[in-house]
Amino acid sequence: MFGVYAPDHDVARLSYFALYALQHRGQESAGIASAHGGHIMTVRDQGLVNQVFDEQKLRALHGEMAIGHVRYSTTGANSWENTQPVWRADTRELALGHNGNLTNAVELHAALRERGVAFRSTSDSEIIAALLSTHPAETVEDAIADVMPQLEGAFSTVVMTKDRVVAFRDPAGLRPLALGMLDGRYCVASESCAFDIIGAEYLREVEPGECVTLGEKGLRTRQVVHGERRAFCVFEHIYFARPDSRLEGRVVQTSRSRMGELLAAEAPAPSADLVIAVPDSGNAAARGYARASGLPQDDGFVKNRYVARTFIQPGQELRKHGLRLKFNPLADVVRGRRLVVVDDSIIRGNTTRQIVQMLRDAGAAEVHLRISAPPIRNPCHYGVDMSTREEMIAHGRTEAEVAEELGADSIAYLSLDGVYAAIDGTRETHCDACFSGDYPLAAGEQGQEKDAFEPVALPLARA
């Protein structure tokens, strides 16, 4: 997600490159909306950023400001209607991009339908767009101030009207949102890596419950809601964000390599003689593990960088084929070795099982899995597609059973305390529900599996 107000710049091109840097947050569709002379124009389609846009489309999107979005959905509806930015023109014309998941989408949708509001998509993002577009308040900021307390769940959101870009973040700050500056103009992005690629300077994070306006008058901010507690997604630090992004003041790569060091202390592998990473997700943690354990480290796999992430086409069968194309073990490195194989997380375990098998086929003597996060046993209600509990390999299994299921000699995980030590954070200000089952926003969510309304979720590469 990206937004910029910069009349003196090529805002479409800035958005394109920002989205390019944010491609890891969603590969299903991409879109940019720009505003020029009071008119909003949107180009969005299914596919990667560089598949959706070409020179001609970017030239057509010239304007004073723009917003952009990359998307991945959870189930089924990989459709054009669900691509973003969402555009609506009820009483107020706007384009909107949303990262997260509303947990009260069903209720809000029903209430809007009752009022006669029609929807084109099945994404919860259009609910936010409809609430703001139909709102009678004079300014979009006043509409946001009234709508925000009605929304529950995770919503880092960017909205563009004819004359401004406004971004706001849910009161718990579940998903990231950063503020940047480019030649005296302002921009927002899901992650700071988007600023690096366009030469913008990272200023700070948008605060939970805060609404920032980027417009002719520069930057205006308003604290709309004071949340009861912060609950930033700890999985962003572990897996989701790009290693060169800055989250909560820390470079992600540094946190991940620290997780690897702590993992080596918590879960040594006494019989091992070589550390390898599952590329690229385990790279930073493997370096940390090797450093702290004193074991040598090498590349155990060559990764084909031109194969898209394995989840790009939903469905187990395609995922499997994708993986065979993606990793090739280096037999000369792993043959006869007792390996520590480091990765950052395991969800369903399908990818890991095949990785272990490939290493065995290549002659590895022992395979000890070390994971720089705790076991994932609970679904996410806040915008990350983790599927159901039953599909999670750690659900209802001990570590020994998981190891057996994956064909490994052993498996061990970093503790939640270890994760928080690595990011210098506390449970009180983060969400770790997928690990702990403690959902930070509402007491009644513990047993909830999936929202009836289709969420817009972040992708998970792990099968």
The site for ligand SF4 (CB under 6 A) is made up of: 174, 233-235, 380, 382, 384, 431-434
Name the phi and psi angles at 384, rounded to 5: -120, 130
DSSP string, 155-167: EEEEEE-SS-EEE
Least distance between ligand SF4 and beta carbon 375 (Å): 12
Of 31 and 383, which has the nearer Cβ to ligand SF4?
A: 383
Of 207 and 432, which has the nearer Cβ to ligand SF4?
A: 432
Least distance between ligand SF4 and beta carbon 117 (Å): 29
Q: What share of the chain is helix, strand, coil (3-state, %, to 5)?
A: 35, 25, 40
Q: How far is CA 3 from the centre of its chain?
A: 17
Of 136 and 447, which has the nearer Cβ to ligand SF4?
A: 447
Please report which helix (H) or strand (E) contains residue 126, including its range.
helix 125-133
Of 147 and 376, which has the nearer Cβ to ligand SF4?
A: 376
Question: In one letter, which amino acid is 397?
Answer: R
Least distance between ligand SF4 and beta carbon 101 (Å): 9
- Report the sign of the C-alpha dihedral through residues 333, 339, 342, 343, in that order: positive
Coil/strand/helix, residue 203? strand
Q: Distance between CA 109 and CA 112 in Å, rounded?
A: 5
Least distance between ligand SF4 and beta carbon 336 (Å): 38
Of 18 and 433, which has the nearer Cβ to ligand SF4?
A: 433
Token pair 């994760």: residue: 419
H helix runs in 167-315, sequence order = 193-198, 234-235, 252-266, 283-293
User: Do 172 and 440 contact (CB within 8 A), yes or no?
Assistant: yes
Name the phi and psi angles at 10, rounded to 5: -85, 90
Of 87 and 453, which has the nearer Cβ to ligand SF4?
A: 453
Q: Which of 252, 247, 256, 154 is nearest to 204 (CA)?
A: 247
Least distance between ligand SF4 and beta carbon 236 (Å): 7
Cis ω before 124 (30° cut-off from 0) = no
Least distance between ligand SF4 and beta carbon 441 (Å): 10
Least distance between ligand SF4 and beta carbon 153 (Å): 10
Least distance between ligand SF4 and beta carbon 434 (Å): 3
User: Do 65 and 6 contact (CB within 8 A), yes or no?
Assistant: yes
Of 233 and 393, which has the nearer Cβ to ligand SF4?
A: 233
Of 312 and 434, which has the nearer Cβ to ligand SF4?
A: 434
Least distance between ligand SF4 and beta carbon 379 (Å): 7
Residues 6+ apart with CB under 8 A from 54: none
Q: Distance between CA 239 and CA 321 in Å, rounded?
A: 23
Of 130 and 433, which has the nearer Cβ to ligand SF4?
A: 433
